[in-house]
C-alpha cells in the first residue's frame, strides 16, 4: 500500500536547502578502504557472481532495508552545441549539424512547471552563447518560479569552462552557483579518472585531477556533489578500481559525495567498442562500487544506460536508487540506446517491486516524500 507523507527525517527544515548529513557515514569510513586493490580486481573479474551480489546487497540492506528510491525529475539539457569533441560522445553537435539545438529559457521553464517534478538536472554542451551569466540567470529564474525545487546543475567540466571564460577561479564560480540556487553538483565529466583515458578519449576538457579538485572545493564550500564512472569502453579493470579508490579517498578527506552513478557506455555512432557492456559486467561494477565506496551513501542503477532488465537486477547487487523519471533525457538518447527517454513513476515502482524491494519516492536530497510499505 502506498502512503503519501512528507516524512522528513531531519526535522523541520528549509525545504530547499540540502541536508547533506552523511547519515550513513560512520567513523570507520575515514580509515583505509574496506578491501584491498587485489580483492577489488577479483570482484570485477572472477569472484563468484552471486556471492558478490549477495555481499553488496547485504551492505545495501544494512543501510536501507528493503527500500529503493526514485525521484520525479526532469533533465534539462539547454544545448548540445559544444566546443569540445570527446570521443565517446554522440550528444555534442557543431554549428550547422542537423541535430544541433539550443533551447530558450521559456522552453526550459515550461518543462519544470509541473509540481510533481521534484528535481531539475541541468547539464549541457560548452558553448559561448550558453555562458556563465546566462546559465546562472537560468538557475535564478527556475529558483524564482519553483522555490522548493531541488536544482542539480553544471558538471565540474562546465564549472572549469565558466571559470576560464570569465577569468575567475572555480571557487568563485561554485560560490556564485550556490548563491543563484544550485543545490548539488552532478557527477558528470569524471569519465574514467585516468590520465591515459583522459589523453585517449577526452583530452580537450579537464582531466582527473582538475575534476577531483573542483568536487573537493564544492564539498569544502558546503555544496554536495555526485560522481560518475563511464565504463564499458577501453578502460582496464585496474583503471576502474583506481577510479573508485580515488573517489573514496576524496570523500574521506572532504565529505560531500551523495551518490555514485556507474554509466555504461552506449556505443551509438562513436563505436569505441561494438557492444554495450554485458549485464554481468554491469552487475560486477555496481556491486564492486557498493563494496568499495562504503563512505558514499547511495549507488544508482541508472536505467537509461544499464537497460531496464539489468537495472532491476542491480537492485539486488547493491544499488539502492533508480535515479528518476527524467522527462526528456537527450545525452543517452542521441546515442540511440534503445532505452525510453522517460519513464512514469508507476513504471519505476513496478521495476522496484520486481526486484522484491519497496519503492519510495524521494526528492533530490533523498528526503522521502512517499513510502510504500508491504
Ligand atoms: O559525463 C556521454 C556520459 C555523462 C555517453 O549526477 C555517456 O545524478 C554513456 O553525468 N554513453 C553526463 N554515457 C550524464 C551524467 C549523469 C547522469 C545521471 C545522473 C547523474 C547524477 C549524472 O554522460 C558524461 C558522460 O560520462 N556520456 N556520452 C555515452 N555514449
Ligand atoms: Fe561536449 Fe560533454 Fe560531449 Fe564532451 S561529453 S563533447 S564536453 S557535451
Determine contact, residues 345/324, Cβ cutoff 8 Å: no
Residue 193, ligand 2, Cβ within 6 A: no
What pLDDT, on a 0 to 100 scale, did the predictor assign at position 60? 97
Counting every residue written for the chain, the total comes to 374
Q: Which residue is associated with the grid cell 519505476?
A: 348
Kindly state whether residue 104 falls inside one of the protein's structural domains: yes
Domain with 52 in it: what CATH number?
3.20.20.70
As separate numbers, helices (DSSP H) first and strands (DSSP E) second, the chain gives: 13, 11
Kindly state whether residue 70 falls inside one of the protein's structural domains: yes
Kindly state whether residue 374 falls inside one of the protein's structural domains: no
Q: Which of 250, 241, 232 is nearest to 296 (CA)?
A: 250
Say how many domains are in the chain.
1
Please tell me the distance between residue 202's alpha carbon and the centre of ligand 1 in angstroms.
Answer: 13
What pLDDT, on a 0 to 100 scale, did the predictor assign at position 374? 66
Residue 245, ligand 2, Cβ within 6 A: no
What pLDDT, on a 0 to 100 scale, did the predictor assign at position 26? 46
Ligand nearest to the CA of 155: 1
Relative to beta strand 67-71, strand 321-324 is parallel
Kindly state whether residue 109 falls inside one of the protein's structural domains: yes
Determine contact, residues 244/40, Cβ cutoff 8 Å: yes
Averaged over successive runs of 10 residues, the pLDDT of the chain (374 residues) comes to: 33 36 44 84 98 97 97 96 97 95 96 93 97 98 97 98 98 98 98 98 98 98 98 98 97 97 96 96 98 97 96 98 85 68 90 97 96 77
Residue 92, ligand 2, Cβ within 6 A: yes
Kindly state whether residue 371 falls inside one of the protein's structural domains: no
What pLDDT, on a 0 to 100 scale, did the predictor assign at position 34? 84
Kindly state whether residue 229 falls inside one of the protein's structural domains: yes
What pLDDT, on a 0 to 100 scale, did the predictor assign at position 260? 98
Determine contact, residues 68/260, Cβ cutoff 8 Å: no
**Residue range(s) defining the domain that contains residue 240:** 30-365
Atom of ligand 1 nearest to the CA of 268: 30
Kindly state whether residue 10 falls inside one of the protein's structural domains: no
Residue 198, ligand 2, Cβ within 6 A: no
Query: pLDDT (tens digit, 9 = 90+) per residue, 82-116?
Result: 999 999 999 999 999 999 999 999 999 999 999 99
What pLDDT, on a 0 to 100 scale, did the predictor assign at position 13? 30
Amino acid at each position: 500500500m502506498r502512503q503519501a507523507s512528507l516524512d522528513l527525517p531531519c526535522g523541520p527544515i528549509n525545504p530547499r536547502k540540502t541536508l547533506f548529513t552523511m547519515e550513513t557515514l560512520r567513523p570507520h569510513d575515514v580509515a583505509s578502504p574496506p578491501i584491498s586493490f587485489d580483492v577489488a580486481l577479483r570482484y570485477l573479474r572472477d569472484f563468484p557472481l552471486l556471492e558478490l551480489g549477495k555481499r553488496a546487497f547485504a551492505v545495501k540492506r544494512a543501510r536501507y532495508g528493503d527500500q529503493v528510491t526514485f525521484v520525479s525529475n526532469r533533465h534539462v539539457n539547454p544545448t548540445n552545441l559544444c566546443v569540445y569533441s570527446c570521443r565517446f560522445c554522440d550528444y555534442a553537435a557543431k554549428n550547422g549539424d542537423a541535430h544541433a539545438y539550443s533551447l530558450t529559457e521559456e522552453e526550459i521553464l515550461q518543462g519544470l512547471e509541473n509540481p510533481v517534478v521534484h528535481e531539475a538536472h541541468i547539464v549541457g554542451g560548452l558553448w559561448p552563447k550558453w555562458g556563465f551569466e546566462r546559465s546562472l540567470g537560468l538557475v535564478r529564474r527556475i529558483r524564482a518560479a519553483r522555490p522548493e525545487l531541488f536544482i542539480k546543475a553544471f558538471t565540474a567540466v562546465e564549472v572549469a569552462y565558466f571559470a576560464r571564460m570569465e577569468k575567475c577561479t572555480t571557487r568563485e564560480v561554485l560560490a556564485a552557483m550556490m548563491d543563484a540556487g544550485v543545490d548539488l553538483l552532478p557527477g558528470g565529466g569524471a569519465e574514467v579518472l585516468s590520465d591515459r583515458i583522459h589523453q585517449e578519449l577526452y583530452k580537450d576538457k579537464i582531466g582527473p585531477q582538475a575534476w577531483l579538485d573542483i568536487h573537493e572545493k564544492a564539498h569544502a564550500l558546503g555544496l554536495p556533489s555526485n560522481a560518475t564512472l563511464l565504463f564499458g569502453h577501453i578502460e582496464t579493470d585496474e583503471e576502474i578500481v583506481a577510479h573508485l579508490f580515488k573517489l573514496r579517498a576524496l570523500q574521506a578527506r572532504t565529505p560531500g559525495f551523495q551518490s555514485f552513478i556507474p554509466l555504461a557506455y552506449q556505443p551509438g555512432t562513436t563505436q569505441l567498442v561494438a557492444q554495450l557492456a554485458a549485464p554481468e559486467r554491469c552487475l560486477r561494477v555496481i556491486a564492486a562500487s557498493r563494496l568499495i565506496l562504503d563512505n558514499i551513501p547511495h549507488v544508482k542503477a541508472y536505467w537509461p544506460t544499464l537497460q531496464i532488465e539489468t537495472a532491476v537486477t542491480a537492485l539486488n547487487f547493491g544499488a539502492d536508487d533508480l535515479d528518476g523519471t527524467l522527462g526528456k533525457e537527450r545525452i543517452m538518447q542521441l546515442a540511440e540506446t534503445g532505452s525510453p527517454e522517460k519513464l512514469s513513476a508507476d513504471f519505476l515502482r513496478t521495476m522496484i517491486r520486481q526486484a522484491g524491494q519497496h519503492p519510495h519516492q524521494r526528492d533530490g536530497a533523498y528526503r522521502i516524500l512517499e513510502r510504500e510499505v508491504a
